[in-house]
Structure 1
Amino acid sequence: MGEKYALLTGASGGIGIEIAKTLYEHGFSLYLHYNRNRESLDAFIDEYGSSRVHLIQADLSMSDGVNQLLEQIDHPIESVIYNAGKSYFGLVTDMSDDEIKQMITLHTTSPFLLIKKLLPDMITKKTGNIMMISSIWGITGASCEVLYSMVKGSQNSYVKALAKEVALSGIRVNAIAPGAIETAMLSSFSEDDKTLLKEEIPMGRLGNPTEIADVVSFLISEKSSYITGQVLSVNGGWHC
């Protein structure tokens, strides 16, 4: 059996690093994408070695980002986990046109174009796994994160539609919708804010990035071979 390759976008963040560890432990050779934060991926290579790890840089919020990324890939990709993303907290009326365009490109246009380019090889081989790391706000919506809610909702609809289109080709498409996870995305929250947030969550705590990676581990395994077109909430019972 030859090498199997996975592409993970947004690999340098808290959730991304844990997903990278999971993919590595599943035997994948990895293309780990980042935009600015390379340091955490260098630390990953220090721990796991470089023989099965390729670092690739691209800004997927820009119109040429997907082409930049694809130019750095030299192998057929069996699994894609699209984890690249960023949030914006503020009123709709305060967002600039450039901020809106970049958010839509990063979360909607780029994953569509990227997977469009990678699908033909998966279809030929009759195998593949596509996964989006979405958000709870793509399901429930959030005030002051309206655009983020919109683009994450778009990802969820994309998963449901694409799964139906490629199921007969042996390709599975799913999404994970995390709730409040202890990552840099919550860095702007004070400890008091986090305490209040925990009180809203039925399980009484924030999620851990490893708990998202564990769900990825399940969804890329044969144990989930009959699961496709699903948006799996991992949120401690918050906003169920």
Structure 2
Amino acid sequence: MSRSVLVTGGNRGIGLAIARAFAEHGEKVAFTYRSGEPPQDLVARGCLPVKCDITDPEQVEQAYKEIEERHGNVEVLVANAGINRDGLILRMSDDDFTSVLDTNLTGTFRVVKRASKGMLRARTGRIVLISSVVGLLGSPGQVNYAASKAGLVGFARSLARELGSRNITCNVVAPGWVDTDMSRAVSEQRLAESLAQVPLGRAANPEEIAGVVRFLVSDDAAYITGAVIPVDGGLGMGH
């Protein structure tokens, strides 16, 4: 039987690849997007687009009500939505810092808390949080982003201990450089320097991240929880 799957930030990049992967395997997929139009290929496949800004608790609640009416309680949650506002700390405003944490960390808290209600009643569920190698290694000019992504690790491991007795797993995927709009926005020089530090010598494609996410919510991964899975070409080894 297909499951009710929610992917936040599923309209582009890694989130889009994850939503596509679940749809291709027959799951009932809903995905959130904040602006613009939802990808038409997902809509054509029967996926449910839900406009939602995860920094707004009321929008999160409304999104879940819409999903539950169409697909039932969310059984698989992939918390992917995130933003970055890079800058050196002396030039970083309070808003640059707090807005990134509110989306990447507090926004994740909001969507996970709401999904956990149905999962606890059903005594089963799968949660995957999309972090980053930056949250493990650190990166100059990204103290806000790194803090938010590192916070997801402690969040997930605490949640794994809290919900494990109800057969709910919570794991983290930590991508490195991925070929998305976000990575293409950096200078060619910085990208080349960064990829030179990757043992595999290249960026990942989004589908490679999606494959790991699908594994973590499969029966084959039923005994994995509280794990941080790096998908970074070896960049973060030892961290």
TM-score by length of 1: 0.91
1:25 aligned residue: 24
1:136·1:178 contact (CA, 8 Å) conserved in 2?
Answer: yes
Q: Which one of the candidate residues 110, 117, 121 is aligned to 1:120?
A: 117
The superposition leaves residues 88-128 of structure 1 with CA deviations (integer Å, 9 ceiling, x where unpaired) of 21112322233322212111212212221221221121110
Q: % of aligned pairs identical?
A: 32
Which of 168, 173, 194 does residue 170 from structure 2 map onto? 173
SS in 2 for 1:85: coil
RMSD: 1.7
Which amino acid in structure 2 is aligned with residue 109 of structure 1?
T
Map of 2:49 onto structure 1? 55
The whole-number CA distance in structure 2 between the counterparts of 1:104 and 1:62 is: 13
**Take 2:117 and 2:57, find their aligned partners in 1: how far apart are those partners?**
22
Match status 1:203 vs 2:200: yes
Alpha-carbon displacement from aligned partner over 1:15-48 (angstroms, at most 9, x marks no partner): 1111012211332111111011424x223223x2
Give 1:61's aligned amino acid.
T
| Secondary structure at the counterpart of residue 200 of structure 1 | coil
2:41 corresponding residue in structure 1 = 43
Rounded to whole Å, the distance in 2 between the matches of 1:64 and 1:127 is 26
Report whether the alignment pairs 1:145 with 2:142. Answer: yes
Aligned length: 234
**Shift of residue 57, structure 1, vs aligned partner:** 0.6
**In structure 1, what is the Cα distance between the partners aligned to 2:57 and 2:75?**
25
How big is each residue's C-alpha offset from its partner over 1:49-96, in whole Å with a ceiling of 9 and x where there is no partner? x2xx21101122345442343343222110000000011211123222
- Measured against aligned partners, the alpha-carbon deviations of 1:138-173 in whole angstroms (never above 9, x if no partner) come to 111111100110011111111111001111101010
Secondary structure of the 1:31 match is strand
Equivalent position to 2:183, from 170, 181, 186: 186
Normalised to the residue count of structure 2, the TM-score between the two structures is 0.91
**Is contact 1:6–1:80 with CA below 8 Å preserved after alignment?**
yes
